[in-house]
Amino acid sequence: MADKIVLKVENREATGKQVAKIRKDGLVPGVVYGSEFDNKNIQLSQQEARSVVVRAGKHTPIELVIS
């Protein structure tokens, strides 16, 4: 089995129309949903997102670390 792929993301405070500025700064906004916790707004760098998607492909799980 391959090494575990870890994606480090940050909490995001901006919502609504404020998200446009995040995108202009080269960040990707997102939301993490789960049944055992409240929804979390997150953001991560566009470069890191691309890198992880390429490494993981379509079927490899990705572990999120929210800071």
pLDDT at site 3: 80
**pTM as predicted:** 0.84
Q: With cut-offs at 50, 70 and 90, classify the pLDDT of residue 19.
A: very high
Which residue, among 22, 21, 28, 20, has the nearest Cα to 48 in the 3D structure?
A: 28
| Three-state SS at 17 | helix
pLDDT of 2 over the 80 cut: no
Average pLDDT estimate for 38-48: 96
- At residue 17's C-alpha, the angle toward residues 24 and 33, to 5°, is 90
